[in-house]
Chains A and B, each alone.
Chain A
């Protein structure tokens, strides 16, 4: 049995629920003989991947769903062996080059050239080109991106690239100018509620409107999260009551508690305890930047208006350092310590007045 997220993922362009205008445009693109390189961007859970798969299906028919996974090996000039997983069908292939870290340039150069230089063999194929889907394109190194530049132009005859990323800030300008930018915005609360209702109907569940709205709010525009929460709620309690609270993921609860924990006491002793909690989160593979961001927003909700600006400033600063540094715990702890100091000072000043 698969998760609802996968079960109810729209399969074709006509099944997509929201962004109707975008869907029409994508259909026009796919139905004409000419198809540009695409750069699909938007926040996570907005439906970028779903749209890419739907476009591929529109291009090639159901054949694209017959997937196989290959493990490919590449050798760097310094004789290091790299391995990367590639998901492919007869018509397209999909890779996440950031898996190989700084050697992504080699993968891009070798693999894409190899694909680009082979013609589509299947005579019954609808298109004369293959599609390469590159996930997490924003974490491609600059070298890898510049390696793509000319390749994209030169092999336009038998290959198209679809780049999928969260933000275009880290995509170099020459690549951006070669692609058609497709922005997939996060769905708004009503759109999420509609989808939730649809899922509930297919599962023959009674979904109270208020509860659906609560989930939609809680998901913050992330469709995947909304559907997952609905399924979790179904497991927890059914029939749903209108006053039921959606269950947040346990790490979010943990961070929320952590925020309260920090706010109740600001001492070096407490800081040491906070550290163990942070380690707990890190060992459960919650990415440090997510921890910092979630913690910041939890703290912001609970503190006085005057402090908010300063806290955001420090959060931005420590998050930036976190990206550049190599040991996450230092920066997380530094942020917590800094916050404690600001907050304590604020409380003391308040008491002195």
Chain B
């Protein structure tokens, strides 16, 4: 298996193997310095202070996807070691690598054991290495337990950084050994300004209204918004990118279809409901997406009473659970629309 060091990223610090190759914008516009990280002021401020003291605790970053967790630790590592030394000082492991208990025992221990000596001028180069365990919430409990002692034994020369979405899936003994940092979803303003910057650099023809849509759809997930922008750019090249185009790429159900469903629901006529649901299913929209948009629609409907809304929310929850279990979308949607009145 290939050692997953920082170096193997598509656009690592020394560039990809083929410079001419178009890089995904997500990698290209990944913040390179701690100062570039937007809207995580508290976390960045605390981290910077710990950097100055040259004594870093073990770290645990958690927060929703696309909020900049991986970017932060990578930027931190780069500021600590500089682009050259980072290859030998940082080990990055993620869920796509085999990460059972034996890997923790062998690979992590081997890496943790090696002492470090040389330093490069211009960077602090503290006398420890960093092991980044990305997507740590998908590690097995056994593997996590195996880390406990390792973390303590090698704490003189190694710092661990766990990155995860759900802090509740990290076992308590590990969590208590780390300094926790919560990353919040990015606010609209930061997302917008970043997208604006990318549009200008890449020459994307994207009106302000479309950027607004992008920011709204991504719900604070920077990666998603950039991916959507790039996908749209690939599809439309120099043409103007409209909000509708973004909605289509994001797999969002058109408002008109939601309105048809709502109208059918309000009519309480089984045939109309059946026809509307049948059409939605035939058009291939995903059930989960339909549910979440229907939810938004129901909640904001001024004509429904709170009690009705509560009942609907319950049915929605039930339907969502069934869908996650793999139940048939057509039947579940039909049931939801029929049961909710």
Contacts and interface: CB of A to CB of B under 8 A. Distances in A.
A220 B282 CA distance: 8
A258 interface: no
26 contacts: A28-B237, A34-B22, A36-B230, A36-B231, A36-B234, A43-B284, A113-B1, A146-B135, A147-B96, A149-B135, A150-B97, A154-B9, A156-B23, A167-B287, A169-B288, A169-B289, A177-B65, A186-B282, A186-B283, A312-B331, A312-B339, A313-B335, A315-B331, A316-B331, A317-B335, A320-B322
A180 B10 contact: no
Nearest to B94: A150
Contacts of B27: 153
Given A154-B9, A177-B221, A320-B325, A312 B248 contact: no
B18 interface: yes
Contacts of A296: 331
Interface string A291-328: 00100100010000100110011011101100110000
A174 B65 contact: yes
Given A143-B138, A149-B96, A177-B65, A293 B249 contact: no
B251 A181 contact: yes
B325 A324 contact: yes
A109 B22 contact: no
Nearest to A147: B96
A331 B95 CA distance: 37
Interface in B11-44: 16-18, 21-24, 26-27
Contact of B96 (A148, A293, A324): A148
B17 A157 contact: yes
A-B interface, 10 closest residue pairs, ranked by CB to CB distance from nearest? A316-B335, A42-B284, A169-B288, A150-B96, A168-B286, A320-B327, A309-B338, A177-B224, A186-B282, A180-B231
Interface in B116-147: 134-135, 138
A186 B100 CA distance: 43
Given A29-B234, A181-B249, A157 B10 contact: yes
A167 B330 CA distance: 11
> Chain A interface mostly helix, strand, loop or mixed?
helix
A28 B323 CA distance: 35
B96 A109 contact: yes
B240 interface: no
Given A32-B234, A147-B96, A316-B328, 4 more contacts: A148-B96, A289-B328, A319-B328, A320-B322
A198 B234 CA distance: 33
Interface of A: 25, 28-29, 32-34, 36, 41-43, 46, 77, 109, 113, 117, 128, 143, 146-151, 153-154, 156-157, 167-170, 173-174, 176-178, 180-181, 183-186, 220-221, 289, 293, 296, 300, 305, 308-309, 312-313, 315-317, 319-320, 323-324
Nearest to B224: A177
B98 interface: yes
B290 to A, nearest CB: 9
Interface size class of B (residues with CB under 8 A): 35 or more
Nearest to A183: B284
B249 A150 contact: no
Interface in B276-304: 281-289
Contacts of A316: 322, 327-328, 331-332, 334-335
Contact of B250 (A113, A143, A181, A320): A181
A186 B138 CA distance: 36
Tell me which of A113, A150, A157 has the highest count of chain B C-beta atoms within 10 A of its own C-beta.
A150
Nearest to A305: B270
Contacts of B285: 183
Nearest to A171: B286
Nearest to A145: B95
A185 B96 CA distance: 32
Interface in B203-248: 221, 223-224, 227, 230-231, 234-237, 248
Nearest to A77: B100
Most A-side CB within 10 Å, residue of B17, B22, B286, B332:
B286
Contact of A312 (B1, B322, B325, B338): B338
Contacts of A168: 251, 286, 288-289
Interface of B: 1-2, 4, 8-10, 16-18, 21-24, 26-27, 65-66, 94-98, 100, 134-135, 138, 221, 223-224, 227, 230-231, 234-237, 248-251, 270, 274, 281-289, 322-332, 334-335, 338-339
Given A169-B287, A305-B270, A154 B8 contact: yes
A33 B20 CA distance: 11
A61 to B, nearest CB: 21
Contacts of A146: 95-96, 135, 138
A185 B285 CA distance: 8
Contacts of B221: 177
Nearest to A112: B96
A301 to B, nearest CB: 10
Nearest to A174: B65
A157 B284 contact: no
A313 B22 CA distance: 51
Residue in B4, B323, B328 with the greatest tally of chain A CB atoms within 10 Å: B328
B330 A33 contact: no
Contacts of B95: 146-147, 149-150
A36 B283 CA distance: 23
Contact of B18 (A36, A128, A174, A181): A128
A174 B282 CA distance: 25
A177 B223 contact: yes
Contacts of B8: 154
A43 B234 contact: no
B9 to A, nearest CB: 7
A154 to B, nearest CB: 6
Contacts of A33: 22
A173 B2 CA distance: 26
Nearest to B218: A177
Contacts of A113: 1-2
A283 B87 CA distance: 59
A141 to B, nearest CB: 11
Contacts of B287: 167, 169
Nearest to B334: A312
B283 A180 contact: no
Contacts of A153: 10, 24, 26-27
